[in-house]
Amino acid sequence: MAKESFDKEIQFLRMLVLTSGAFSRQQFAERLGISVHTFDKTLRRLKEVAGSLHPQDAQEPGKELADSIRFSYYDSADPLLLFLFRAKSVKETESQRISLLLGALNGQALTAMELLDLCCAGLPAGLALPDEKTIRSDLKYLEVVGVIRREPGPRPYRYRIQDDLVRSLSDEELMDLYDFVDVMANTQIPSVQGYLLRDGLKKQLMRGTEANYAAEPFLYKYHYHSRILDEAHLFTLLHAIRGRRRVQFQYFSPKSEKSYAARNTNPLFERSPEGRAEKTLPLKIVYDHQYGRWYLLAHGREGIRKYRTEGITQITEENEAADEQWYGQKLQELDERLRYSWLIDTGKPVTVRARFYNPEGSDFNFVKERVLLQGQWGEIVYEDGHSFTYEITVNGTTEIKPWLRSFGSSCEVLEPARLRREMIEEWKEIRAYYESV
């Protein structure tokens, strides 16, 4: 999807959202693992990107990006910082070149050499002129992402924009498609490609007779800041899974004091690498809807390993594919270990029993409906007029505990005894917070 990695900006923006500008420049740079100079340079770059994409919302001189995030974020229905995927998916020189190519292909089919001549004539003075190899590489990238297509016929091949769908739809059908994509992008995962498709459809609507189509029929408030940012690695990992290829990356665990480290490019300032170098074979991607997190489950020298994708940086994919039969065996092994996993826990199975109390004075038993909807393979083993008992076998109790706790006083853990004691202690701690001062 993206031609250029932007690990630093992803980690920068994630921390900016989580801290809301509470860190000083020095604290922020130390936590991120960069210099203060790099911090200032990255912040200037992000301001330029935000201003170029939303000139009507250009910040006042001296206003910090952190203040904009802190006070203006919930005024927008767009997920925060999606502009990274819009503005940094290609380098600046590539974006100018690709814009010229798409403009030239609008309404006509051209060969690579014809596009080379047009591109050389249209690029601003001072920029290096591309060669035939560069143009063909750009055309291949645009073809892979589905923006253009190669016309059937003999060489030299001719290319044209692939916009048959939107051009064949009426204005009413286009509006219906836009509304559908808007709903799906805001409610389903992954979302980035849906948002980009929505933007393209909206531009098409604004060009046509529906230029006044400005009122959004649906409004959303985005809650998971990291989810969109983590999708930067998602498509690379899914591509590696389909090809049974190993990947290499620098990994920063959630407990690490740093979340990013710049590459060593100057031998005079060589330093020991931060993070942990990992080489592993991806098997499965799991999304935790409760916390908005992506997880990578992979096989390495130590067997099955789990990684939070927010800690993955500098990811690269190897060319050699693993043996198909051996890879299938590892998938079966993973599925067996996840058989009783609430999410990704591979610990020892334990049976959990909990009593849920029916809501009083309500004709609709929303507690039971939620348990039946979210309780996965668990069963209701006993029921009377006031409560019901739910039973499930899971790998450990760590992952199911937040779900049980979210029911508040409507849930009482019965077994195992250790989990019951843990819940009692946690509720005592919560109660202490509300004691009179």
Write the CATH number for 380: 3.30.70
- Give the pLDDT band of residue 62 (cuts 50, 70, 90): very low
Token code pair at residue 255? 């407990």
- The C-alpha atoms of residue 95 and residue 103 are separated, in whole angstroms, by 12
Question: 83 lies in a domain?
Answer: no
Distance CA 361, CA 416 (A): 31
HSE at residue 104, side-chain half, CA atoms within 13 A, is 25
The encoded tokens of residue 148 equal 């253009």
Query: Do 175 and 156 share a domain, yes or no?
Result: no
pLDDT band at 405 (very low <50, low <70, confident <90, very high): very high
Alpha helices for 54-91 (secondary structure H): 65-72, 83-87
Confidence bin at 207 (pLDDT 50/70/90): confident
One domain, residues 239 and 292: yes
Coil, helix or strand at residue 412: strand
What lies within 8 Å, CB to CB, of 349 at 6+ separation is 340, 393, 394, 395
**300 lies in some domain:** yes
Q: Give percent above pLDDT 70 in the chain.
A: 82
Q: Is residue 43 part of a domain?
A: no
pLDDT at 213 over 70: no
Question: Would you place residue 343 in the very low, low, confident or very high pLDDT band (cuts 50, 70, 90)?
Answer: very high
- Can you give the residue range of the structural domain that contains 112? 92-162
pLDDT over threshold 50, residue 435 = yes
Q: For the ranges 56-60, 170-174, 414-418, which has the lowest average pLDDT?
A: 56-60
For residue 131, being part of any structural domain is answered with yes
Q: Tokens for 264, please give them.
A: 């060593």
Based on the fold, state whether residues 257 and 310 are members of the same structural domain: yes
Query: Picking from 7-21, 47-61, 107-121, 138-152, which range would have the lowest pLDDT averaged per residue?
Result: 47-61
Q: How many domains does the chain have?
A: 4
pLDDT (0 to 100) of residue 334:
94
Measured in degrees and rounded to the nearest 5, phi and psi for residue 363 equal -75, -20
Mean pLDDT of the chain: 82
Instruction: Identify the pLDDT of residue 59.
Output: 46
Residue 65 has pLDDT above 80, yes or no: no
Of the given ranges (24-28, 76-80, 192-196), which has the lowest mean pLDDT? 76-80
The answer to whether 18 touches 156, Cβ cutoff 8 Å, is no
- Across 9-13, 185-189, 252-256, 338-342, the highest mean pLDDT is recorded for 338-342
Distance CA(198)–CA(188), nearest Å, equals 14
Same domain, 241 and 312: yes
**63-92: b (≥16 Cβ within 10 Å) or e:** eebbebbbeebeeeebbbbbbbbebbbbee
Q: Is residue 332 part of a domain?
A: yes
Are 234 and 285 members of one domain? Answer: yes
pLDDT given for residue 19 in this prediction: 73
Is 173 in the same domain as 157? Answer: no
Peptide bond into 267 cis (omega under 30): no
- CA 194/CA 182 separation, integer angstroms: 8
Amino acid occupying residue 26:
Q
Tell me which residue of 200, 199, 282, 280 sits closest to 238, measured CA to CA: 282
In a domain, 116, yes or no: yes
Task: Pick the range with the lowest mean pLDDT from 203-212, 315-324, 402-411.
Answer: 203-212
**At 417, is the secondary structure helix, strand, or coil?**
helix
62-71, 330-339, 354-363, 383-392, range with the lowest pLDDT? 62-71
Over residues 376-395, mean pLDDT? 93
The 3-state DSSP class for residue 304 equals: strand
Tokens of 136: 């063909």
What average pLDDT score do residues 360-381 get? 91
Sorting pLDDT into bands at 50, 70 and 90, what band is 61? very low
3-state class of 153 per DSSP?
Answer: coil
Domain match, 374 and 323 both: no
Residues 142 and 116 in one domain: yes
Residue 384 counted as domain residue: yes
Q: Rounded to an integer, what distance in angstroms lies between the CA atom of residue 11 and that of residue 34?
A: 11
Is 341 part of any domain?
no
**Can you give the pLDDT at residue 333?**
94
Please say whether the dihedral angle defined by the alpha carbons of residues 32, 38, 43 and 48, taken in this order, is positive or negative: negative
